[in-house]
Amino acid sequence: MGLRLGLARLFHMPREITNFTPQDVLMQEGFSVLIVLAVTLFMGGFEKRSLGAYGLPLRGAFGARFFEGLVWGFLAQGATMVILSLTGNATFQGFDQRGSSALNFGVLWACAFLLVGFFEELLFRGYPQFTLATGIGFWPAAIVLSAVFWGAHMFNPGETWVGGVSVALYAIAMCISLRLTGSLWFAIGMHAAGDWTETYFFGVADSGMQARGHLLNTALTGNKWMTGGTVGPEASVVALLVLIVVIALLLARFGPRVEKRPTAPLS
């Protein structure tokens, strides 16, 4: 979500999502996904390559890697919030939604954040990553695009240097997952689940925006380096430390079994 706000601020455009509801996110992100996917398909047709070359093999669509990413995203964000609670920086204050309303919002936000995951991962780790890597290699391309990803987020109102480091590290983590699993499906799942857990499940700010219709009411108190301040837990030192652990676990989980993308350069 922070990417859209950062780009809007960078280019002096009005923020497209002014009312943080799942319906608004679905509309805006759905349109964005269609554009990025259409461009990727067009370039794939021109270059005679399939979506698999750009990290979206249809054979693995919504398969084991995707669902594993969902679990990782939920656990990583959950770990952040639990640590904040144990250190006295987060207090859970009951439910915002119950029953069928909670279920409806949960499903809507899940669909919305799935689109967010598709848009941001395909935009930064899809065709641009593949194409740039053909000229300068995988990791230099990953660093360049992660820097752009970081730069766009740094234009978010209230963003801190800790949040900026977390954004950059998150981008690198997703590049590591792409490199080691051979596709974006794990990254899309983790991205979507992380946003859903932060925004809907715990009901805390996401890139400075409070969602309408979330499960828990969670109050964040204390030093902004611990809580992320107005940006949200994603800009906290705790999230940064959790990301470091996630990267270590990714290397341990997938490192010995690299699944190479068939047409992607690996230099």
Per-residue pLDDT of the chain (267 residues; tens, 9 = 90+): 555 544 443 333 344 445 699 999 999 999 999 999 999 999 999 999 999 999 999 988 999 999 999 999 999 999 999 999 999 999 999 999 999 999 999 999 999 999 999 999 999 999 999 999 999 999 999 999 999 999 888 877 677 888 889 999 999 999 999 999 999 999 999 999 999 999 999 999 988 888 999 999 999 998 889 999 889 999 999 999 999 999 999 999 998 654 444 444 433
> Do the domain assignments include residue 56?
no
> Do the domain assignments include residue 116?
yes
pLDDT of residue 160: 81
CA distances 250 to 176, 217, 244, 247, Å, are 8, 31, 10, 5
SS3 94: strand
> Do the domain assignments include residue 164?
yes
pLDDT of residue 2: 52
pLDDT of residue 17: 46
pLDDT of residue 257: 54
Find out whether 153 and 3 touch, Cβ atoms under 8 Å.
yes
Query: How many domains does the structure of the chain reveal?
Result: 1
Per DSSP, helices labelled H in the chain are: 2-10, 22-47, 64-86, 99-125, 127-136, 138-153, 161-181, 185-196, 224-227, 237-254
pTM score: 0.89
> Do the domain assignments include residue 181?
yes
> Do the domain assignments include residue 133?
yes
Overall size of the chain counted in residues: 267
Give which of 35, 33, 80, 30 is closest to 195, Cα–Cα. Answer: 80
pLDDT of residue 7: 46
Beta strands 216-220; 90-95: pairing state: antiparallel
> Do the domain assignments include residue 87?
yes
pLDDT of residue 142: 96
Task: Quote the CA–CA distance of 143 and 171 in Å, as a whole number.
Answer: 9
Contacts of 195 (CB under 8 A, 6+ apart): 1, 73, 113, 116, 117, 206
- Residue 229, sorted as left (phi over 0), alpha (psi -120 to 50) or beta, turns out to be left
Find out whether 233 and 84 touch, Cβ atoms under 8 Å.
yes
> Do the domain assignments include residue 261?
no
What range does the domain containing 108 cover?
A: 2-11+21-49+62-254
Task: Quote the CA–CA distance of 109 and 163 in Å, as a whole number.
Answer: 23
Task: Quote the CA–CA distance of 245 and 251 in Å, as a whole number.
Answer: 10
pLDDT of residue 213: 95
158: amino acid identity, one letter: G
What's the Rg (C-alpha) of the chain? 18
> Do the domain assignments include residue 127?
yes
pLDDT of residue 155: 78
Q: How far apart are the first and last CA of the chain?
A: 32
pLDDT of residue 63: 95
